[in-house]
Amino acid sequence: MTTTPTARLSAGNLCLGSAPDSWGVWFAEDERQVPYSRFLDELAEAGYRWLELGPFGYLPVEPERLADELAARGLQVSGGTVFGALHRPEQWDDMLAHVRRVAALTAAAGAHHLVFIPPLYRDEKTGAFTEPPELDAAQWAAVGKAANRLGRILLDEYDVRLVVHPHADSHVQTQPEIERFLNATDSRYANLCLDTGHVAYGGGDNVDLIHRFGERIGYVHIKQMDPAILAQVAAEGLSFGEAVERGVCVEPPAGVPDPADIVEALSGLEAELFVIVEQDLYPCAPEVPLPIAVRTREYLNGVGLSGIRRPGH
């Protein structure tokens, strides 16, 4: 049974949006995903005005075509999304070339944040390990150096800010790993996309991170995880893909952390922040996402999150 949150004053520094992830989209192309036109139609129908671009190539990559699709539905872009390895110096050139393409599209869409997701050390579909789950000291040094270098390029050349996204089954997942990343990077060039669900998945404390590292949070993904399935992950060694198929990512008010606690903590920060809904649903039936998106928006509206951005921000 769902409950209705107690209405509160809007957290004026926070702006609500959603992402393809909430429609079960993990890949640029996949037969188990809805067409991008359906995603955009349903996003607008669900009452959202802002969206993150999601996997590069899922939405149109031609700036004019993307702009036309968004304008036809009254939608705007909060940020871009890119996957890349910061701990592999030998792949720098290829990674940078790809990031530049995503940054250019992000900037052309009028957005100023690039959500950078580290590679998973387990295959998203099979769960097989593809590399060791922990980085050594040299790899951590490479991460910090590469993040600062990349962030400076994005800021100087695209006016886009790099925000690195902790992710389950990645090398930036647990709270100690998140803190190590922040301590290894320069706040001028690399900051954090706080993903509340992935922090919880890794056993971290979102509110503690907000209170201690609030000045390093540049963007937010809001999601909740089912504690019962998190226990299965620990007991059975499940991959993130296997956990998602079991329904680990849940809509509010179910799961952890409590969205109201997150909104309250974020509302105390000085920064203007996008807060993007990401409920991992891959794979799901096409009719599943829309009603969840509507209920989620209504719930988050009730705890102070609106999709209205302050003029001038």
Which of 94, 187, 88 lies closest to 135 in space, CA to CA? 88
CATH number of the CATH domain containing 149? 3.20.20.150
Phi-psi region of 304 (alpha: psi -120 to 50; beta: other; left: phi over 0): left
Alpha carbons 227 and 233: distance in angstroms, whole number: 10
Domain assignment of residue 260, yes or no: yes
Please name the residues in contact with 118: beta carbons below 8 A apart, sequence gap of 6 or more: 83, 84, 85, 86, 87, 164, 165, 167, 170, 171, 172
- Model confidence at 184: pLDDT above 60: yes
Question: How many domains are there within the chain?
Answer: 1
pTM of the full structure: 0.94
Structural tokens at position 263: 């909104």
Condensed to tens digits (0 to 9), the pLDDT of residues 171-180 reads 999 999 999 9
Condensed to tens digits (0 to 9), the pLDDT of residues 80-128 reads 999 999 999 999 999 999 999 999 999 999 999 999 999 999 988 899 9
Structural tokens at position 107: 């900037």
- Calculate the average pLDDT of the chain: 94
Domain assignment of residue 243, yes or no: yes
Domain assignment of residue 5, yes or no: no
Domain assignment of residue 227, yes or no: yes
At 308, the pLDDT band (50, 70, 90 cuts) reads confident
